């Protein structure tokens, strides 16, 4: 019966979908295959332990941290939108 309100569990379904999307996005960014022996940014050697731990690694730790900071600075989106956009 449609009442105009969200059904039971709708909020949890939305939370589950958001988490699932985030997991898919994170997995798509993971490298695959053999990693590089030298960083593609600064050409320093990537330690063997890092190459074993991170499949498809292409950056040393310092360059990866810098890339992560840049990615975090530009990101995100607001699912709710601003109040102004809702009034238009």
Check residue 20 and give its pLDDT: 94
Q: Is residue 6 part of a domain?
A: no
CB-based contact 46:57 (threshold 8 Å): yes
Cα 29 from Cα 73, distance rounded (Å)? 17
Q: Is residue 47 part of a domain?
A: yes
Q: Identify which of 39, 77, 36 has the alpha carbon closest to the alpha carbon of residue 55.
A: 36
- Averaged over 35-44, what is the pLDDT? 93
Cα 13 from Cα 44, distance rounded (Å)? 46
Q: Is residue 39 part of a domain?
A: yes
Two tokens, residue 49: 């332990």
Check residue 42 and give its pLDDT: 95
Q: Is residue 3 part of a domain?
A: no
Q: Is residue 86 part of a domain?
A: no
> Does residue 6 or residue 60 have the better pLDDT?
60
Residue 2 has pLDDT above 90, yes or no: no
The domain total for the chain is 1
CB-based contact 50:57 (threshold 8 Å): yes
Domain that holds residue 48: 31-72
């Amino acid at each position: 019966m449609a009442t105009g309100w969200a059904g039971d569990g709708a909020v949890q379904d939305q939370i589950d979908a958001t988490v699932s999307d985030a997991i898919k996005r994170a997995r798509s960014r993971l490298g695959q295959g053999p990693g590089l022996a030298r960083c593609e940014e600064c050409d320093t050697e990537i330690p063997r332990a890092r190459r074993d731990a991170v499949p498809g690694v292409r950056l040393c730790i310092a360059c990866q941290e810098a890339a992560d900071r840049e990615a975090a600075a530009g990101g995100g989106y607001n699912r709710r939108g601003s109040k102004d956009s809702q009034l238009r």
